[in-house]
A and B are shown apart, each in its own frame.
Chain A
Amino acid sequence: MTDITERDASVRERAATARATRPSGPIGARIERKEDSRFLTGMGQYTADITLPRQTHAYFLRSPHAHARIRGIGKQLAEHMPGVLAIYTGADLPESVGGLPCGWLITGTDGQPMKEPKHPLLAQGKVRYVGDPVAIVVAESGDQAKEAAMMLQVDYEPLPAVVDVREARGAAAVVHDAAPDNTCYVWALGDAAAVDAAFARAAHVTTLEFANNRLIPNAIEPRACNASWSAADDSYTLYVANQNPHVERLLMAAFVLGIPEHKLRVIAPDVGGGFGSKICLYAEETVCVWASKRLGRPVRWTAERTESFLADAHGRDHWTHAELALDRDGRFLGLRVKTTAAMGAYLSTFSTCIPTILHATLLAGQYTTPAIHCEVTAVFTNTAPVDAYRGAGRPEATYVVERLVSTAAREMGLAQDEIRRRNFIRSFPYSTPVALTYDTGDYEACLDGAMKLADVAGFPARRAEAQARGRLRGLGFSSYIEACGLAPSNIAGALGARAGLFEVAEVRVHPTGKVTLFTGSHSHGQGHETTFAQVVAERLGISIEDVDVVHGDTGRIPFGMGTYGSRSIAVGGAAIMKACDKIIAKATRIAAHLMGAPAGEVRFLAGTFAVPGTTKNLPFAQVALAAYVPHNYPLAELEPGLDEIAFYDPTNFTYPAGTHICEVEVDPDTGATQVVNFSACDDFGNIVNPMIVEGQVHGGLAQGIGQALIEACVYDRESGQLLTASYMDYAMPRAADLPSFRLDNRVTPCTHNALGVKGCGEAGAIGAPPAVINAICDATGAKEIGMPATPERVWRALRAQRS
Chain B
Amino acid sequence: MHGFGYYDPTSVSKAVAILDDKPEARYLAGGQSLVATMKLGLSAPSDLVDLRQIPDLRGIRLERDGSVVTVGAMVRHAEVAESRDVADRIPALADLAGMIGDRQVRNRGTIGGSLANNDPAADYPAAVLGLGATINTNKRRIAADDWFHDLYETALGAGELITSVAFPVAEKAAYLKFRNAASRFAIVGVFVAKTRQGARVAVTGASPQGAFRVRAMEEALTREWSAAALRPIDVPAAGLQADLHASADYRAHLISVLAQRAVAATL
Which chain A residues have a beta carbon within 8 Å of chain B's beta carbons?
A: 143, 147, 150, 306, 669-670, 672, 709-710, 714, 723-724, 727-732, 737, 790-792, 795-796
Contacts and interface: CB of A to CB of B under 8 A. Distances in A.
A727 B253 CA distance: 26
Contact of B244 (A669, A670, A729, A795): A729
B257 A731 contact: no
Contact of A729 (B182, B246, B247, B257): B182
Interface residues of B, number: 18
A728 B105 CA distance: 13
B257 A670 contact: yes
B169 to A, nearest CB: 30
Contact of A795 (B182, B245, B250): B250
Interface in B213-229: none
From DSSP, what is the main secondary structure of chain B's interface residues? loop
B178 A670 contact: yes
Contacts of A724: 182, 244
Interface in B230-267: 244-247, 250, 253-254, 257
B183 A727 contact: yes
B181 interface: yes
Contacts of B183: 727-729
Contact of A728 (B2, B182, B250): B182
B250 A792 contact: yes
A104 to B, nearest CB: 33
A671 to B, nearest CB: 8
B182 A730 contact: yes
A596 B163 CA distance: 91
Interface centre among A727, A728, A796 (most CB of B within 10 A): A728
Given A731-B181, A732-B182, A795-B250, A714 B244 contact: yes
B250 A723 contact: no
Interface in B56-85: none
Contacts of A728: 182-183, 185
Nearest to B257: A669
Given A729-B182, A729-B183, A796-B250, 5 more contacts: A669-B257, A709-B181, A723-B244, A731-B180, A731-B181
9 contacts: A147-B2, A306-B40, A714-B244, A724-B182, A728-B183, A729-B182, A730-B182, A792-B250, A796-B250
Contact of A710 (B1, B181, B246): B181
Nearest to B1: A143
Nearest to A733: B181
A714 B178 CA distance: 21
A714 B244 CA distance: 8
A150 B44 CA distance: 14
Contacts of B181: 709-710, 731, 737, 790
Nearest to B256: A669
Interface string B180-210: 1111010000000000000000000000000
A2 to B, nearest CB: 46
Contacts of B245: 729, 790
B166 to A, nearest CB: 31
A140 to B, nearest CB: 15
A4 to B, nearest CB: 44
B257 A710 contact: no
Contacts of B247: 792
A727 B40 CA distance: 13
A135 B123 CA distance: 42
Interface centre among B1, B178, B182, B244 (most CB of A within 10 A): B182
Contacts of A710: 181-182
A215 B244 CA distance: 15
B175 to A, nearest CB: 16
Interface centre among B41, B181, B244, B253 (most CB of A within 10 A): B181
Contacts of B178: 670, 672, 791
B255 to A, nearest CB: 11
Interface in B20-79: 40-41
